[in-house]
Amino acid sequence: MVCGQEDNLEIREIKALLTDRETMILASLYSDVEKMLKNLKKALKEGNIDEAKNEAKRIIARKKMAKIAKEIASAMPKGVKGRTGRVVSAYLIYRRDGRLIISRKADIADAQGLGYVDPDVIAAVLRAVQEFISYCLSAGEEVNEISYGNYHILAEFGRYTVLVCIIEGKKDIRPAMRAALESIEKKLGNRLQQWDGDLSIATEIEPIISSFITQYR
């Protein structure tokens, strides 16, 4: 009896996604969420509860990632909006456990006359980026882009590392991201395979990341 009640509660929660306002907004922005909702509705209609649960989990993961994107966008220094295709910052993350290997940001403060950027802001963005990667890797598929307002967070997955970029405006920088990631893993693949956390490796990666960012300042 209790188990039945729990099942009914879970089904009601899954059905609620079909009319949830945040989910509807996401569906209007992302075609994959719209497709998930259609699959969810079909699964419920056919009584395929397991499939409905899987689609519901994917939608909830998308909602969480959208929240992360909002957190990243709100943490960006004020005054940098309005540019198109500018790489704000780049992060190379160790794929196995989410540790940061190196991060580089464009000279936002100098370019906009903003001066000092609060380290707490930088730390908040990094935490959100790492959470984004965590959700990407646990989603069962590599969801590699989330957006909020004028900001887009893109991820390219290598064998050992993930390159994450925050950009302003919409621009196809993926070929350059892939090229940078391939260059890093080709050069340092043996060390990255069993990386022990030694950050001296960053000195060899930095020129590749900096060269990539320079293309999109």
Least confident of 84-88, 99-103, 182-186, 187-191: 84-88
Last residue of a domain, one of 14, 43, 72: 72
Q: Rounded to two decimals, what is the model's pTM?
A: 0.69
Task: Provide the residue range defining the domain that includes 38.
Answer: 2-72
Last residue of a domain, one of 72, 90, 115: 72
First to last CA, the chain: 61
One domain, residues 114 and 183: yes
Amino acid making up residue 94: Y
One domain, residues 115 and 186: yes
One domain, residues 90 and 16: no
DSSP state of 77: P
Pull the structure tokens for residue 46.
């056919």
- Please tell me the total count of domains within the chain: 2
Last residue of a domain, one of 52, 72, 92: 72
- The closest alpha carbon to 89, from 113, 63, 117, belongs to 117
One domain, residues 121 and 104: yes
One domain, residues 42 and 91: no
pLDDT tens digits along 83-138: 566 788 888 999 888 888 998 877 544 334 333 345 566 666 777 777 777 766 66
Cα–Cα dist 30/24, whole Å: 10
